[in-house]
Structure 1
Amino acid sequence: MTSPARAGTGSSQSPAARRARGAAEVFLVFLRLGLTSFGGPIAHLGYFRAEFVERRRWLDDRGFSDLVGLCQFLPGPTSSQVGMAIGMLRAGWRGTLGAWLGFTMPSALLMIAFGYGMTRFGALAQSAAVHGLKVVAVAVVAQAVWAMARTLCPDRPRAALAVGAALLTLVLPTPVAQVGAIAACALAGLHGLHIAPLAHESREGFGASRRAGAVALIAFVALLVGLPIAARLTGSVPLQGIDGFYRAGALVFGGGHVVLPLLQAAVVPTGGVSNEQFLAGYGAAQALPGPLFAFAAYLGTVMQGALRGWQGGLVFLVAIFLPGWLLIAGALPFWDDLRRRDRVRAAMAGVNAGVVGILGAALYDPVWTSAIHTRADFGLALAAFGLLAVARVSPFVVVIVTAAAGWVLGLV
């Protein structure tokens, strides 16, 4: 993983000033991604790769895929955890906070607004412009799969692992199958791949000490065990809600769509949110950029009880993202030493190939199946892919152009 170069560093600046500048840069970059990254967690990884590997070169393809592989192993929102990790690599603790705020804030604020005016914004998910945004996600993911396959599957054994992982996740489209595919690819890499030694890289660290990482892991377990006990002992309804959202974020693999049954079980049977409200919010969340976990902000806003409105939205938003942040903050300080070991690197080479396969399977379902319905949709996706992969146009520009084209196609 290449060392993240600190932009704008100078000998006259103190380390604190450099970190502040880096954190501000991270926040602004992720804010733009949070406003334009439509298409769900798999598409988000495509946007991240285009921004941080190709455009800004904060890390290389192998380093990016290593992070994706690590976050696939951890429960929580994979794309958001990758973003948090990139923020920490770039600017330490402030960077991970800036990455989360920038990427999550746009969709969270929109979901809170939708909670206050659900009827007014109910048709958003069906608009032609939003359909165009789903189409551009096909192009973004296709470009990411193509580029990552060339780098991470350079030989027949790794290409075979990618194909096997894709087939497994297509036949069994569940989070358990995804984790199983990655684990199988890791074992195959450990026993069947021979990887060249890793060249020495000087780096400034992962933005957190091992002691801080250990504290984060201890806090993760303490909250997972302690919150339900505290909620039962006190009988506090708000604490019960916080516990439900924290457990949903802590125990789910596979991203935002997988967490929905857990959230529904936490808020609908208790009467806090009606099933109609839940489904309406879920439909609106599909139309927004950024992480689907921001759906928690909507649920907190409409929930009946003492903790509701924008305050409830923000509290439950933090509750659902907190376990994923604690896990990535706890794992990163130990990750660099682990990835330098030959056996770990062989296993990670297998994992990287598996990630390519899983992304390839996701390119078909759900990205392609939810966006490409007509020949016009396919033509628009193909044009967007050409702009990204051949003309090297900025993803931000491609998103805007494709959304406008989708709106025009909807009119005709």
Structure 2
Amino acid sequence: MSRVWQVFWRFLLLGCTSFGGPAAHLGYFQKTFVQDLKWIEQDAYARLIALSQFLPGPGSSQVGFALGLKRAGLAGGIAAFLGFTLPSFMILYYLATSQIGAESLWFNRVVHSLKLLAVVIVADAVLTMQRSFCQERRTLSIAVISAASLLLFPSLWTQMAILLVAACYGVFQRPNADNQRTTATEKIMPHLGFTLLTPPFILFIALFALLPLLAYVSDWAALATAFYHTGSLVFGGGHVVLPLLQQSLAQAIDLDRFLVGYAAAQAIPGPMFTLATFVGADLAPQARFIGALVATVFIFLPGFLLILSVQNTWESLAQKPRVAGAVWGINAAVVGLLLSALYQPIFINAVQSAGDFASVLIAFFILRQFKPPILALVLSFIGLGLCV
């Protein structure tokens, strides 16, 4: 039980301070759980990132859920989700039921300063992961090409294509892979077949199929269906939630109000999927808290069920030579994707003046050279925001 509480409090702190979106969250996780606490090795953490790239759902929250699972079992995974999501849930529920927030000058200043901190954290993560996964010319080339491609052609399809090409390249070009060839179908298919028979995967399919039927007799089931299907189909992280949810709920919610919630979800710490909290509260005016709770739970649930379904299989598959080669390529590509995210959307949305850039440079130097606790940096940037 002590491990479960430890997981909860660590993720609660991150949920209060993790500004910057999914890429920044992965940086915060890497700094906290790989470098500082050493809960997981860098290679294992990279495999979790690679897994989250191929599954629908909230990428950074799935990684956090998996970290909690590894640390303290299913209770640890749930504790990680609750801790990381609770702050943004409370803020967005408050904003949905009040008029205070975006017009507050001090609020905007603090948010801006913490966005600068996100630049520092992600830059640190890019450098650390580059040193781990891009130690040769080929992997460094994958990272650079991936970053350049996504910067020039920013879209979900570009990201998926980059990961697919990097995985295929790794399967056939990874060093020593040719010397360890086995019959792929003979070794890999049993693992995939076992995944399809796990209770979490069966529950994932059952909910996807049955919720729309229940929607005809229950408004709550209709609400759950919209968010569950969105969570099942979102590849590429929180930003992709916007078009999918808007299409699902076009007749149910005012577009201007929807965009207010989306803007708020980007401005606060924690997962962007908690946009569902804001929208759920709006869609259930007679029971706003229940609406927010149902929407939030059901948009996250598909991704977590898939993590439970494939995590053990993925760990086994990742040891196979060809799969290990794919992970080798994906890890290098992820460095490139993180590098592109450092510029867009993180850097260009945070750094708005020479003074901002100077703050980022100084904080990055302090972080790399003196390695202060994340909390110290967070408090420093909050103080900067209140004083400027």
Structure 2 counterpart of 1:400, one-letter code: L
**Cα distance in 2 for residues equivalent to 1:86 and 1:212:** 22
Taking structure 2 as the reference length, the TM-score comes to: 0.92
Equivalent pair of 1:213/1:332 in contact (CA under 8 Å): no
- For the residues of structure 2 that align with 1:309 and 1:358, how far apart are their CA atoms? 37
| 1:4-83 aligned within 5 A | 20-83=1-64
- For the 8 Å contact 1:384–1:402, the answer to whether it is kept is no
Question: Partner of 2:375 in structure 1?
Answer: 396
Residues 275-284 or 47-56, more deviating: 275-284
Residue 143 of structure 2 corresponds to residue 159 of structure 1: no
The range that moved more, 76-85 or 334-343, is 334-343
Match of 1:372?
351
Q: In structure 2, how many angstroms separate the alpha carbons of the residues matched to 1:250 and 1:313?
A: 18
Equivalences for 1:40-189 in 2 at 5 Å?
40-117=21-98, 119-124=99-104, 127-189=108-170
Q: Which amino acid aligns with 1:108?
A: F
Does the Cα contact within 8 Å between 1:195 and 1:345 map onto a contact in 2?
no
- How far apart in 1 are the matches of 2:213 and 2:370? 56
Q: Is the 8 A contact 2:284 2:291 kept in 1?
A: no
Counterpart position of 1:360: 339
* 1:303 alignment partner, one of 283, 297, 319: 283
1:213 Cα deviation from its structure 2 partner = 7.5
- Distance in 1 between the 2:103 and 2:201 partners? 42
1:214 aligns with 2:198: yes
Question: Deviation of residue 124 (structure 1)?
Answer: 4.8
Q: 1:291 aligns with which of 254, 258, 271?
A: 271
Matches within 5 A, 1:288-367: 288-304=268-284, 308-367=287-346
In structure 2, distance between residues paired with 1:351 and 1:280: 35
Distance 2:320 2:87 in 1: 40
Instruction: Classify 1:124/1:229 alpha carbon distance in 2 versus 1 (closer, same or farther; 3 Å).
Output: farther
**Alignment partner, residue 185 of structure 2:** none
Cα separation, 2, equivalents of 1:226 and 1:170: 40
- Residue 230 (structure 1) shift: 2.9
| Partner amino acid, structure 1, of 2:244 | L
Query: In structure 2, what is the Cα distance between the partners aligned to 1:52 and 1:213?
Result: 31
CA 213–113 in structure 1, closer or farther in 2 if over 3 Å, else same: farther
Task: Flag as ranges the 4+ runs of structure 1 deviating above 3 A.
Answer: 195-198, 210-213
1:158-177 Cα shifts (integer Å, max 9, x gaps): 11111111122112211221
Deviations 1:128-158 (A, max 9, x none): 1211111110110000000100111110011
TM-score scaled to structure 1, two decimals?
Answer: 0.87
Q: Residue 246 of structure 1 aligns with which residue?
A: 228
State the Cα deviation string for residues 276-318 of structure 1 (Å, max 9, x = none). 3222222222221110111111111122465x31111111110
SS at match of 1:282: helix
Residue 223 of structure 1: which of 199, 207, 231 is its match? 207
Indicate conservation of the 8 Å contact 1:338/1:344, yes or no: yes
Structure 2 counterpart of 1:246, one-letter code: Y
Give the CA deviation at 1:23: 1.3
CA distance in 2, matches of 1:80, 1:260: 17
Matched letter for residue 394 of structure 1: P
- For 2:208, give the aligned amino acid: L
Is the 1:39–1:289 Cα contact (8 Å) retained in structure 2? yes
Higher helix share: 2
Q: Any idea what SS the aligned residue of 1:390 has?
A: helix
- Structure 2: state its 5+ residue gaps: 181-193
For residue 39 of structure 1, give the secondary structure of its aligned residue in structure 2: coil
Instruction: Work out whether residues 84 and 325 of structure 1, in 8 Å CA contact, stay in contact via their aligned partners in 2.
Output: yes
Aligned residue type for 1:98: A
Q: Percent identity?
A: 39
Residues of 2 paired with 1:146 and 1:27: CA distance?
A: 28
What is the DSSP-based 3-state SS (H/G/I as helix, E as strand, rest coil) of the residue aligned with 1:140? helix
Deviation of the 1:212 alpha carbon: 10
Instruction: Name the count of aligned residue pairs.
Output: 373
